[in-house]
Amino acid sequence: MKKAFRKIHLWLSVPFGLIITVICLSGAALVFEDEVTELCRRDLYYVEKVSGAPLPVEYLIEKVAGTLPDSVAVTGVSISSDAERAYQVNLSKPRRASVYVDQYTGEVKGRHERAPFFLTMFKLHRWLLDGMKPDGGIFWGKMIVGVSTLMFVFVLISGIVIWWPRTKKALKNSLKIAVGKGRRRFWYDLHVAGGMYALVLLLAMALTGLTWSFSWYRTGFYKVFGVEMKQRAGHGALQTAHGTPQTVHGALQTVHGTPQTVHGTLQTAHGGKSGRNSSEEGRRNREHTSPYACWQQVYEELKARNAGYKQITVSNGSASVSFERFGNQRAADRYAFNPQDGEITEVTLYKDTDASGKMRGWIYSVHVGSWGGMFTRILTFIAALLGGTLPLTGYYLWLRRIRLI
């Protein structure tokens, strides 16, 4: 039986080995992309000095909007719990584009752009630098990556069968990497023991990565976990209402072009307003206010509701709140609000999210190793590096065996 698996292991590794190396090493390069990018561009992502209270969201967005061409619009703002981190203003295009602004001074710090190195690594990891064909032709890069990853799964499984020791002593010896017993012994131990140490994480990365390569695999993967696939819903696709705000603490007004926060204006649950302004005046004011006028109010409401939040994102009519916790790193509570007055109308907590949405987040978190925080990310990085060396050490051992080197 082991003889048959040795042949499977060899003849799947030989044609696909170099591609597997490229996929693993490029994936390893992406594990700490955020940390490296922020270290190199700290002036973009962080404010120079925390001074007083942040400026109103509406004012900051208007500052950013004034720098944009007519074809680009602001779609949302993401606010971190870290007071030193600049506000991220999200744009309509290009995809995932954003601008960072100093919330204390109003300075537009600049646009976020993926570093050319990491963009190249991403395209290499996903598509071998290929691109989607405009005419709908075969996406060869994506297909080759998918097939190679699938073959990698079989290579790993066959490797387990070949490695499986018969005794405890053999098990102990097979997990050692000898450094002082010659080059051939070192490469052999690195291939065998290194593969076993990284096996679980490599299988997890390969099996989750295949969901981006093949739709048939993705459908089957979801069914294995008893989850029915659904189209991704927007932030506004909410289901359960847990409460309606009765007061407004952050309504924004513009006086001679200067944004001011009104803290003493009360609204009823039905939109009625008490105070100096009549309901008619309030209606006229809302007709002339910016579409971002109530975003500050929504942010403050969600901040008050969610102690210990990681990030709050507000967009037109919807918002989300994420937390610093283990597990699905894309988990978030989602809210819908009335864009006219900022009244929160619907709430969907993460625990009530449909299983399909949770599955997408878990697939991503397991694939990139972020589910367990920095510890699992480090392990994922090491496993990806080892995964990249397995075909190379395998080639070396194979060429030595057939006496070509």
CA dist., res. 188 & res. 356, Å (int): 42
pLDDT at position 310 over 80: yes
pLDDT at position 265 over 80: no
Contact 401, 357 (CB under 8 A): no
Q: Where are the beta strands (DSSP E) in 92-131?
A: 98-101, 108-112
pLDDT at position 22 over 50: yes
Nearest Cα neighbor of 347 from 322, 327, 320 is: 320
CA dist., res. 377 & res. 366, Å (int): 10
pLDDT at position 263 over 50: no
pLDDT per position as a tens digit, 177-212:
998 889 999 999 999 999 999 999 999 999 999 999
**pLDDT in the model for residue 275:** 41
Mean local confidence (pLDDT), 249-256: 39
Give the CA distances from residue 106 to residues 86, 101, 103, in Å, rounded to whole numbers and listed in that order. Answer: 10, 6, 6
Amino acid (one-letter) located at 223: K
Please enumerate in sequence order all residues whose Cβ is within 8 A of that of 61, keeping only pairs 6 or more positions apart, or say none: 74, 77, 89, 290, 292, 295
pLDDT per position as a tens digit, 328-376:
999 999 999 999 999 999 999 999 999 999 999 999 999 999 999 999 9
- End-to-end CA gap in the chain: 29
Mean local confidence (pLDDT), 132-139: 83
Please enumerate in sequence order all residues whose Cβ is within 8 A of that of 130, keeping only pairs 6 or more positions apart, or say none: 123, 139, 140, 141, 142
pLDDT at position 149 over 60: yes
Indicate the pLDDT class of residue 382, thresholds 50, 70 and 90.
Answer: very high
**pLDDT in the model for residue 281:** 52
Q: How many CB atoms lie within 10 A of CB 346?
A: 17
pTM (global) more than 0.85: no
Please enumerate in sequence order all residues whose Cβ is within 8 A of that of 262, keeping only pairs 6 or more positions apart, or say none: 250, 251, 252, 253
